[in-house]
Structure 1
Amino acid sequence: MDHEKVNILLVDDQPAKLLAYEVILKELGENLVVAASGREALEYLLKNEVAVILVDVCMPELDGFELAAMIRDHPRFQKTAMIFISAIQVSDLDRLRGYEMGAVDYVPVPVVPEVLRAKIKVFAELYRKTRQLERLNAELEDRVRARTAELEQSHARLLESEQRRSLAIAAGRMGSWDWDWVNGDWMWDEGQYQILGLDPKTFVATPANIQALLHPDDLEEPRRALAQFQKGAKSYEAEFRIIRPDGQMRWCVGTAAATHDKAGRVVRVSGVTVDITERKHAEERQNLLAREVDHRAKNALALAQSIVRLTRGENVKAYIQSVEGRINALARVHTVLSLSSWQGAEIRRLVDEELAPYSDGNQIAPLSGPEIQLQPATAQTLALALHELVTNSAKYGALSTQEGRLSINWENETGLLRLVWEETGGPPVETPTSRGFGTQSVIASIESQLGGNAEFDWRREGLLCRLSVPLEPRGAGQDRHQNRDAAAERPRGERTARSADA
């Protein structure tokens, strides 16, 4: 680095003079570059850095003055040292013009080797020192920038951390406190007051006042913590409940750390309190959901068990088909309910699912009715009832022939779902003399389970079935009472079922 070679550009149109300059300057130990014309010199300059340019004034095409002017016009070479060599007598006017073009010195011919070497050496050293200084400055600027960036990042992280803490405090979910064990002084931040629902202007933090905020079942937690600290424990964590002055109970988790003196005695306790009420509520909801899922699973298994136990068939194949059909109906409504997180099922979706296998042709009229959200239990039971109606219609009713037609419409009459199932164009219908399982299943599910009623009108042109289902659950006693009244009011023909039901 002390003698890093620099480029010295020698420009002259005469090879002999260039050779002479090289011989004179060789002992300087620099990198000598020759150019036989001004254009050649410019081409080299555009690609390389040069410390000193030694240029002949008198050259064809582009003389020394013109070359100097072009070099100075380039931003990168505005400070490059240029020395003119002139074989003719140079007047003061010529010198002034040369200096205006950017020359730093003149060397007359014949050239005195010692003088030329001395001048070139001075400018080469100046260039070398300038470059070293620029590198040092660049390195220093890089270090300053890196340090500044590091400080800015550290400051940004600190601000972000403080903002997060401030947001947590503002939300009333986290607070910090400090207790001087020796003199009993307490220090709370704003978040601590917010969690406990206290006014910092009126509340005085004392052991008695703080203990009064604890839930009666959690009064032992502070005593346990103090006992642990006195035994040498460094930290303590516990969940506890507090009762705010307005009577609201909140769940908290507290973490405390003790500071001991050289003798091992506690001198200070610091801690953080976090409001975990929402988390506790979420855990309760999760436990409730688990119990609800268990309850629904048991209900589904009970329905499946009833299906298996009560289904009848002429042979094993028919029995299997009936069981599979009813369980598939139960599975379809289960899927619909799952998509709504068991909040309910829209009746149109429920009907569409049951009619899907027969929806390719024009046998089924467009569904008519408002959007009604059914509760899970109602949706399950109604889906099985619709499945029985669809199955019977496909075997013996309107859906068993190409000429048959089926229309379904419903309405909401002040909390009561009224659904009308109407078949036409199928085989002639005769009033059955006994109830089949399908009809029994529809009547039992609608009346016994949902507290509604099912009316069957065996018209010769096709079955007309009216289902009335309460949209809100009602008491079992009230359901049974209404079922008996509805059954007593129906004509005898309407309370019988098609003998060919599966």
Structure 2
Amino acid sequence: MPDSQIKFLVVDDIRENMVALEALLRRDGLQIDFAGSAAEALELMLVNDYALAFLDVQMPETDGYELAELMRGAERTRNIPIIFVTAADRDERRHFRGYEAGAVDYIFKPLDPVVLRSKAAVFFRIGQQARELECQRDEMRVLAHHRDIAISRLKAHADNSPLALIECDRNLTLRSWSKGAERMFGRSAEAMLGQRIAQSGWLDAEAAGILQTWVDGGTSAQRHSAEIDARRADGQTISCEVFGSTLCDLNDGNLSLSLQLLDVTERRRAEEVRSLLIGELNHRIKNTLANVQAIARQTLRQADSLAGFEQGFVGRLQALARTHSILSDMTWSSASLDQLIDEQIRAGTLDAARLLRKGPTVQLTPENALRLALSLHELGTNAAKYGALSVPGGEIRLTWTYNDELLVLRWEERGGPEVHPPARTGFGTTLIRASAGCEDDGVSVDWSASGVIWTITLSVGVAQPNQPDQERLIEPAKIESGRPELDGSRVLVIEDEPLVALDIRYELTAAGAGKVDIARSIGQALEAIRAAEIDVALLDGNLSGERVDEVANALRGRKIPFCFVSGYGRQHLPQGFQDAPIIEKPFRADALLPVIHELIRR
């Protein structure tokens, strides 16, 4: 029989009586168990739950009254309803004993079927109701268990969430303050709950007014959002995105406001910095282009030939580019004078073996560094053309002092040809004189017969770390002389800027390259590497915003020598290719061709 059935127990030592009771009580949903003795009855009651027990009063050994007393003495059987069944016991005193033992009624033999069925039906319905209540109780326990788990999860999410979860009533009195709110605002729930937002010191009147309009608007809007400023307990102001939902209590109709706040202080600060950097970048790019334009115009006006213009213009552009690289490495904060001199040595403008420099370590602002780099380039170029570096044995003495925030730089040439003042002032001289910025008397020149002496004075934009004066001799950069020929070599140029690619193709073709192919994307480059016969490749550091690691690996896989042609430094190029030379943009042909020739020779 299924467990959902209601169970009755009939206890009688006479089998015929049990059969008669069973015949009268039989109905759907009812299970009747039988016991012939008190011991058997107690054993069944320890196993089953009974809605009613019929006990025969007259039984051998243990009668019905004694069995009832035993049932009332045990926790499991104490609440089972008992109806005594008797044939002749109408003694009132015995009846009282039965009721004292826990009986709810008596039935006398011979049994009246109508009375028996009506009394049994009452307990059958009570048993059904008890069973339903038990089922409901079990269901409620399951629901309560799931509810407790859900509440625990929600509380864990709320406590660990980066959001501040806050609730308040229609008067903006705080009713809930999560752990996230405690962390974000440094205010405990104990200190905040029960306070009106406007008086809590957490939000100002304007922000509180925004929240009040959300509540006053009722539940018509599904979702509200705004950006507000909030105050931490330590007085710090933080920027927040707040999302709100207005809720209505279905029981009393009262409104409440549920808020979720996200701290966007760092994001807003990053946006401000980004905007500032974009503006600064725009300013610097336009200034740089204006400088390039001015250099191009002035160089062209004073050039004797197209070749002279190219040499002068490209050299000055290289000086600017190298200084930009230095400043980029220092996040455009400053550059040291030593770095500017080292770059001129690497570019071949100055010969380290014939340069004596002495002076303290000083840092220059970006503006001073750019101007002074151009000046050093012009000084070195002039010395190589007309001065001390144009003959064997000549040398340059470059010394500087820094006192009272004043930098005095002295360029002195010795051992060169006899010096005569120039008949006219060229653009190079103008650039040198511009190195002092707006100060008209910041640059002076002495056209001494033994060697020209330039003195450059900077009074602003110079700083000095605490380091002693140094006298240095730097090994010169090894740059091959002459114009090497490429002897019909097959070259792949991987470059996304069409003008730069065409310029490189022109220089390579003029130097004798046999075939120059151009790839402007990652896909074109990989296809060319796979299909074409290539002697050497030139690889841009970035193709339309994509990294070129895959292309570099493909070149290495086919054992094709290559160099990077890029405005990036080594740290921003694919790693693991330290053996690949770097040609910095903008480049000169006399810097490009020797590198390619050497790669082919290897």
Q: TM-score, normalised by structure 2?
A: 0.45
Tell me if the contact between 1:332 and 1:353 (Cα under 8 Å) persists in the aligned partners.
yes
Q: Deviations over 1:422-450 (max 9, x none)?
A: 2111111123354232112211x134446
1:310 corresponds in structure 2 to 298
1:416 corresponds, among 382, 398, 406, to: 406
Distance in 1 (CA, whole Å) between partners of 2:158 and 2:338 is 50
2:272 corresponds in structure 1 to 284
2:328 corresponds in structure 1 to 338
Q: Deviations over 1:192-216 (max 9, x none)?
A: 3564465766556544525864456
What code does the residue aligned with 1:417 have?
L
1:391 corresponds, among 381, 385, 395, to: 381
2:230 corresponds in structure 1 to 242
In structure 2, do the counterparts of structure 1 residues 451 and 221 end up closer, same or farther at CA, with 3 Å as the change threshold? Answer: farther
What code does the residue aligned with 2:429 have?
T
Distance in 2 (CA, whole Å) between partners of 1:224 and 1:462 is 82
Distance in 2 (CA, whole Å) between partners of 1:164 and 1:254 is 18
In structure 2, do the counterparts of structure 1 residues 360 and 283 end up closer, same or farther at CA, with 3 Å as the change threshold? Answer: closer
What code does the residue aligned with 1:188 have?
W
2:445 corresponds, among 433, 441, 456, to: 456
2:178 corresponds in structure 1 to 189
Deviation of residue 321 (structure 1)? 2.0
Q: Deviations over 1:163-203 (max 9, x none)?
A: 9987887xxxx533223559955222355356446576655
Q: Deviations over 1:111-155 (max 9, x none)?
A: xxxxxxxxxxxxxxxxxxxxxxxxxxxxxxxxxxxxxxxxxxxxx
What code does the residue aligned with 2:228 have?
F
1:175 corresponds, among 136, 155, 164, to: 164
Q: Deviations over 1:338-377 (max 9, x none)?
A: 1112112121111111232437966433432232221111
- 3-state SS, counterpart of residue 379 of structure 2: helix
1:300 corresponds in structure 2 to 288
* Structure 2 spans left out of the alignment, 5+ residues: 1-150, 463-602
Deviation of residue 316 (structure 1)? 2.3
Distance in 1 (CA, whole Å) between partners of 2:158 and 2:174 is 24
What code does the residue aligned with 1:446 have?
S
Distance in 1 (CA, whole Å) between partners of 2:226 and 2:362 is 49
| Residue 456 (structure 2) pairs with residue 467 (structure 1) | yes
What code does the residue aligned with 2:286 have?
K
In structure 2, do the counterparts of structure 1 residues 209 and 380 end up closer, same or farther at CA, with 3 Å as the change threshold? Answer: same
2:101 corresponds in structure 1 to none
Distance in 2 (CA, whole Å) between partners of 1:399 and 1:305 is 29
Distance in 2 (CA, whole Å) between partners of 1:274 and 1:348 is 48
- 3-state SS, counterpart of residue 359 of structure 2: coil
1:368 corresponds in structure 2 to 358
* Structure 1 spans left out of the alignment, 5+ residues: 1-157, 474-502
What code does the residue aligned with 1:285 have?
V
- 3-state SS, counterpart of residue 355 of structure 2: coil
Bigger helix share: 1
Distance in 1 (CA, whole Å) between partners of 2:160 and 2:410 is 58
Distance in 1 (CA, whole Å) between partners of 2:172 and 2:352 is 90
Deviation of residue 261 (structure 1)? 5.0
Distance in 1 (CA, whole Å) between partners of 2:350 and 2:367 is 30
Distance in 1 (CA, whole Å) between partners of 2:268 and 2:211 is 21
2:215 corresponds, among 212, 226, 236, to: 226
- 3-state SS, counterpart of residue 452 of structure 2: strand
Tell me if the contact between 1:230 and 1:266 (Cα under 8 Å) persists in the aligned partners.
no
Q: Deviations over 1:417-474 (max 9, x none)?
A: 221212111111123354232112211x13444677112122222122111112438x
What code does the residue aligned with 1:303 have?
N
Distance in 2 (CA, whole Å) between partners of 1:162 and 1:373 is 56
CA RMSD between the two structures: 3.7
In structure 2, do the counterparts of structure 1 residues 424 and 358 end up closer, same or farther at CA, with 3 Å as the change threshold? Answer: farther
In structure 2, do the counterparts of structure 1 residues 406 and 205 end up closer, same or farther at CA, with 3 Å as the change threshold? Answer: farther
Distance in 1 (CA, whole Å) between partners of 2:255 and 2:390 is 90
| Residue 428 (structure 2) pairs with residue 438 (structure 1) | yes
Distance in 1 (CA, whole Å) between partners of 2:413 and 2:215 is 80
Deviation of residue 412 (structure 1)? 2.2
Q: Percent identity between the aligned chains? A: 29
1:324 corresponds in structure 2 to 314
Q: TM-score, normalised by structure 1?
A: 0.54
Tell me if the contact between 2:228 and 2:239 (Cα under 8 Å) persists in the aligned partners.
yes
What code does the residue aligned with 2:331 have?
S
In structure 2, do the counterparts of structure 1 residues 362 and 373 end up closer, same or farther at CA, with 3 Å as the change threshold? Answer: closer
Corresponding residue pairs, total: 311
What code does the residue aligned with 2:450 have?
E
| Residue 390 (structure 2) pairs with residue 400 (structure 1) | yes
In structure 2, do the counterparts of structure 1 residues 279 and 182 end up closer, same or farther at CA, with 3 Å as the change threshold? Answer: closer
Distance in 2 (CA, whole Å) between partners of 1:200 and 1:286 is 36
Tell me if the contact between 1:215 and 1:240 (Cα under 8 Å) persists in the aligned partners.
no
Deviation of residue 252 (structure 1)? 0.9
Tell me if the contact between 2:436 and 2:456 (Cα under 8 Å) persists in the aligned partners.
no
Deviation of residue 219 (structure 1)? 5.0
Distance in 1 (CA, whole Å) between partners of 2:237 and 2:441 is 43
Distance in 2 (CA, whole Å) between partners of 1:183 and 1:344 is 53
Tell me if the contact between 2:174 and 2:193 (Cα under 8 Å) persists in the aligned partners.
no
